[in-house]
Chains A and B, each alone.
Chain A
Amino acid sequence: MSSYTSAATIRQLLGLTSVQRLVRTTQLGFKSLWLRKLRSLLTVLGIVFGVCSVIAMLAIGEGLSYEAQEQIRRLGSNNIIVRSVKPPEERRTTSERSYVVEYGITYEDINRIKLTIPSVEILVPSRNIRKDVWNGVHRVDCDVVGTVPWYQEMRNHHVERGRFFTEEELASSVNVCVLGHGLPASLFPIDDPIGKTVRIDGDYYQVIGVMEPKSRQAGGSSSSGFGEQTNQEAAKANSGSGAPFEMYIPLNAAKNRFGETIVQRSSGSFSAERVELHEATVKVKNIDDVVETWHIIADLMSRNHKKQDYDIIVPLDLLRQAERTKRIFNIVLGAIAAISLLVGGIGIMNIMLATVTERTREIGIRRALGAKKRDIVMQFLIETVLLSATGGVIGVALGLAIPQIISYFAELKTIIAFWSPIVAFTISGVVGIIFGIYPAMRAANMDPVEALRHE
């Protein structure tokens, strides 16, 4: 007998009739829920908000971390950047001895790194000097970067039009320049800048190319630590975006034309700084050696510099930190999501228990008319899953819409990972099953005689 019934069960579970039944039960579930529209809607709200907040928060978090990682990636993950930093204590002592502040990376440091560390592939030194750049009557306050031809590949920052300067031009310290993005619009409002000349102090430079735009923060940070005190306002007034324009000239030209002492005048006083190089970007051959090379460079620098007049930035390390932060963010988010879906699930279970009690009579009738326990379980389980899945659908819709609204109004980048709505929706369905089982079992286990007597 029991083997017969279990075979029948399997047949029913697999057979066509069971599919038809599932459809019918689902229709019935919709009907029952529709009869109590307001209650169903309120019940589902917990799931709606849970699902919607998961998707929206993930999208915002993903967008933020994408931007952060993109900025770091622009610095190059194989790179180590050494920057000159004006040591804070130097400001006090200089007024006693001389007006010239001497600090920063030296050509000697560069040679040491180049010659003693085998894992270094290339090294890009650069000088950043704040100068006024002229074209006739047009003047722009500009960061003049003296660097080497392989700067482009190293910093992932390329020429948009024209060309970058060559090694010959570097060696002969010829006066050529590449304008940073946005600079042509200020200096050459009408003409094509390529082939024209610009003037810095007494020297003329031929424009040979224009760079592509840098990402906002990468551009800003590369000029930080230099000339900030005196020229911040001017830079802001000039560029409008808060980051000054940049212009690229051969390193040797920068060395020869400007010397190593930079004098800056501001409101009656003047300060002088003596800096050989402002920045050196070291490219490591193999990404696995980055951390080790970083430690060697740090060691080398600390041995040759008495004061902390340099700063080492490791994009890879920053990237890893960003990834760690993102992971923690995701865990926190997951916990919040789990809690909100748990609360939503409990809300649904609560209502389903009330519904089961309310419909005791119906359950009794159905049992008397031939419904098996599992038919009753299916009926209530499907109802619960329908509730939570409806909540999931509404939640996904809202969750997809909210990031769009946020990006539109707050100009914040949001990224909706393709899996996040799927996962959120699946979880809402699973919540329905988990929190639906108990009420459904309770409905099914009622004594039919008692249930029929229920008022």
Chain B
Amino acid sequence: MADIIAQIVEVRKRYMMGLVEVEALRGVSLDFRQGEYITIMGPSGCGKSTLLNLLGCLDRPTDGQYILGGEDVSTLDDDTLSSIRGKRIGFVFQSYNLIQQLNVLENIEVPLYYQGRPDEEARAIATELAVRVGLGERLEHRPYELSGGQQQRVAVARALANDPLIILADEPTGNLDSTSGSDILGVFDELHRQGKTLIMVTHSDEVSERAQRVIRLRDGKVERDERRN
């Protein structure tokens, strides 16, 4: 069995939605191993996005522990969480979330920039990644000059730039047509083969079939956690 790289223990998350307090996660315990390809599924409002935000250190749990790479990150301050995001997490979003005024290379360089990597090194990494996701011909293009599939490839390249511990993807194919979607999933399969740890939120059974582990959430709790081999 591979090493546990991330672990959440009895995690709860409550937040105020207007005047009503919502408990999005009600005691979730999970661990994630090196090289796993995991999909998180469930009806909307089941807490998938909240879980993904917690795993991505964008948010802190109200209760419980989150241990990432051996370090308890559930109580760290904002600055430290920022640098953990920058070093250990790669995000891929449903709506690509590229920065419009930057070109392909510059978008891929953003995480490296916030880590203070030297320009030349960042440029080399970004170029290599852009080539790897098949955008070697469009390094200077702006996001609006690219198709949805291409934009999502840039986002994947950007998620890989800092060589993260975990790649978190929030319905990465949700905005794409089936061809571009399977294209992106192909990229994820490839990353899985290379030993990356992938956690993906999805609605689609078709997508989750590619993963080796499917976690189903319902009402803020783990309903089922199955591994396929």
A interface list, Cβ under 8 A from B:
1-2, 5, 12, 17, 20-21, 24, 31-32, 35, 361-362, 364-375, 448-449, 452
Contact A1 B115 (CB under 8 A): no
Nearest A residue to B80 via CB reads A5
Contact A370 B87 (CB under 8 A): yes
Q: What's the nearest-Cβ distance from chain B to residue A278, in Å? A: 78
Contact A373 B79 (CB under 8 A): yes
B interface list, Cβ under 8 A from A:
53, 56, 58-59, 76-80, 82-83, 85-87, 91, 93, 97-102, 110-111, 113-116, 118-119, 158, 162
Contact A17 B97 (CB under 8 A): no
B-side contacts of A365, CB under 8 Å: 97-99, 110
Contact A1 B116 (CB under 8 A): no
A-side contacts of B80, CB under 8 Å: 1, 5
B-side contacts of A362, CB under 8 Å: 99-100
| CB pairs A–B below 8 angstroms (21 shown) | A2-B77, A5-B77, A21-B116, A24-B113, A361-B97, A362-B100, A365-B98, A366-B110, A367-B58, A367-B85, A369-B85, A369-B111, A369-B158, A370-B115, A371-B82, A371-B114, A372-B114, A375-B82, A448-B59, A449-B58, A452-B97
Contact B116 A452 (CB under 8 A): no
- Known A-B contacts A31-B101, A365-B97; A370 and B114 likewise in contact (beta carbons under 8 Å): yes
Contact B101 A32 (CB under 8 A): yes
B-side contacts of A32, CB under 8 Å: 101
Q: What's the nearest-Cβ distance from chain B to residue A188, in Å? A: 77
Docked CA distance A369–B117 (Å) = 14
- Known A-B contacts A369-B114, A371-B114; A5 and B162 likewise in contact (beta carbons under 8 Å): no
> At the interface, is chain A mostly helix, strand, loop or mixed?
helix
| Seed contacts A369-B111, A448-B59; 9 additional CB < 8 Å A-B pairs | A20-B119, A32-B101, A367-B58, A370-B83, A371-B86, A373-B79, A373-B82, A449-B53, A452-B58
Q: What's the nearest-Cβ distance from chain A to residue B172, in Å? A: 14
Give the residue of B85, B118, B119 whose beta carbon is less than 8 angstroms from that of A370.
B85
A-side contacts of B86, CB under 8 Å: 369-371
Contact A372 B113 (CB under 8 A): no
Docked CA distance A12–B78 (Å) = 17
Q: What's the nearest-Cβ distance from chain A to residue B110, in Å? A: 5
Contact A17 B116 (CB under 8 A): yes
Contact A373 B91 (CB under 8 A): no
Q: What's the nearest-Cβ distance from chain A to residue B213, in Å? A: 24
Nearest A residue to B109 via CB reads A24
Q: What's the nearest-Cβ distance from chain A to residue B105, in Å? A: 13
Q: What's the nearest-Cβ distance from chain A to residue B118, in Å? A: 7
Nearest B residue to A31 via CB reads B101
Docked CA distance A319–B115 (Å) = 63
Docked CA distance A35–B100 (Å) = 10
Nearest A residue to B59 via CB reads A449
A-side contacts of B83, CB under 8 Å: 370, 372
Contact A20 B82 (CB under 8 A): no
B-side contacts of A1, CB under 8 Å: 76, 80
- Known A-B contacts A32-B101, A361-B97, A373-B78; A368 and B58 likewise in contact (beta carbons under 8 Å): yes
Q: What's the nearest-Cβ distance from chain B to residue A78, in Å? A: 67
